[in-house]
Amino acid sequence: MSKTVEEINHKIQNKKAVVLTADEMTKLVQNIGPEKAAQEVDVVTTGTFGAMCSSGAWLNFGHADPPIKMANVWLNDVSAYSGVAAVDAYLGATQPSDKQGIFYGGAHVIEDLVKGNTVVLKAFAHGTDCYPRKEVLSAISLDDLNQATMCNPRNAYQKYCAAVNSSEKTLQTYMGKLLPRCANITYSGAGELSPLNNDPHGRTFGVGTRIFLGGGFGFITGSGTQTDPDHGFSTLMVQGDLKRMSPEFLKAAVFNGYGPTLYVGIGLPIPVLDADIAACTGISDAEINVPVLDYGIASRDRPVLKEVSYGNLKSGWVEAQGKRIKTSPLSSFAWAKKVALELKQWIEAGRFFLTIPVEALPSRGSVKTLSVRIPKTDELPSASRFSSITEDRIQREESLCIHCGHCISLCEEDVFHLDNKWHVIVDAEKCTSCGTCCDACPTGALFLVS
């Protein structure tokens, strides 16, 4: 027996869809099996609420008068990336404040904006003829922005390795505080509620899938960076309108000694199209295994203390090295369940419909490491391609010309013209070496040579 997304959406429209959260589905599948569960249930809602450092937002501030092409941008003294002219900036969640250090960061600015608080925008520029302003200082709020788009390159890890510390000193890490001599284990991820654990082969979601993101609607835009489906550590890249999100599901946090991060609530609806998908959504914490890595060894390839299941981790202790080691989560299961419940209620109320992805995410792939090697001399970045105007005849570096045509209107001697294929032809004999075109070519293709 199988269903289609269209059939399920029809049921949602008529408020007749049967929706269970992932943990409810686990119990049902254990009780009646996947075949019957697939007949009874239309949608399974998942949820996770953990520290997702690879998060941030694109913000568009609008143009001041006179306008500015922002080169350096800060929001509440947190630097944002602004190499995308002229009034856009990407604010990363883990960027620490210039003044408060790690105790306030991009995550806090995002939370302040979503809460409706005012933040201070400061920007500098070198000034251009088209953007003459060189600085701006302004109090702004989320409502003042043209767009505020959460765009997170790596969220919703399928599962995450647990952490322990065999060294003699306490470690402050992104996995929280790790006590010496293996005195505690921390772990992250939502286990059986985790979105990607409930459809590990990505049969029901992909590019374009509508999801719950930060209390509002969002979309999957692709695989997350460092996605590793070969080893069961897939991730998602997601996007959503920050203006429609809720501070309840976006919380700034600081891991002492590490820095700021953003807790993000994400939920995927899994359409139960057949018994195979029902079986996947029936996954339990006892079936999801992760290694406990020793952060006491300062290496990328940390040794494994032992393999454990989320069931073990959630029990509150793990037995290793002849002792019981206390475990504690870093993700919130309470909020993960809240995400799954909220999404369930949206679907039951006919406010959230399922989508068919426009493209599947890769089901294979693993993560490469960075091999650090000193660059050779000819690999070092070269000096600017742009020529100084000292010589007397135009020459074009053909490999650099993109035939944009900008040089045509600049040359009074008609050195440049278009052929019938829209290629820019050069008649260098006519050149009088005025130099007007050289510094205007956007790719640095034009030189004056003797």
Which positions are catalytic? 130
Which parts of 370-409 interact with ligand SF4 (CB under 6 A)? 394, 396, 401-407
Residue 233 per-residue DSSP state? B
- Closest distance between ligand SF4 and the C-beta of residue 333, in Å? 57
**DSSP per position, 305-332:** EEEEEHHHHHTTEEEETTEEEEEEESS-
| CB closer to ligand SF4, 369 vs 384 | 384
Phi, psi dihedrals of residue 346, rounded to the nearest 5°: -60, -45
Contact characters 97-136, ligand SF4, x per CB under 6 A: ----------------------------------------
Burial class (CB in 10 A: 0-12, 13-18, 19+), 195: buried
From 140, 286, 356, 410, residue interacting with ligand SF4 (rule: CB under 6 A) = 410
- Closest distance between ligand SF4 and the C-beta of residue 428, in Å? 7
Phi, psi dihedrals of residue 331, rounded to the nearest 5°: -80, 160
CA distance 444 to 155: 39
Residue 75: CB atoms within 10 A of its CB come to: 25
Alpha helices in 264-381 (DSSP H): 275-281, 310-314, 333-348
- Closest distance between ligand SF4 and the C-beta of residue 417, in Å? 11
- Closest distance between ligand SF4 and the C-beta of residue 72, in Å? 29
Contact (Cβ atoms closer than 8 angstroms) between residue 12 and residue 4: no
Contact characters 337-376, ligand SF4, x per CB under 6 A: ----------------------------------------
CA distance 103 to 253: 9
The residue among 216, 249, 242, 330 whose CA lies nearest residue 56 is 242
Phi, psi dihedrals of residue 36, rounded to the nearest 5°: -70, -40
| CB closer to ligand SF4, 369 vs 450 | 450
Contact characters 411-440, ligand SF4, x per CB under 6 A: x-x-x--------x------xxxxxxx---
| CB closer to ligand SF4, 273 vs 441 | 441
Q: What number of chain residues touch ligand SF4 (CB under 6 A)?
A: 25
The residues that touch ligand SF4, with contacts defined as CB under 6 A, are 394, 396, 401-407, 410-411, 413, 415, 424, 431-437, 441, 443, 445-446
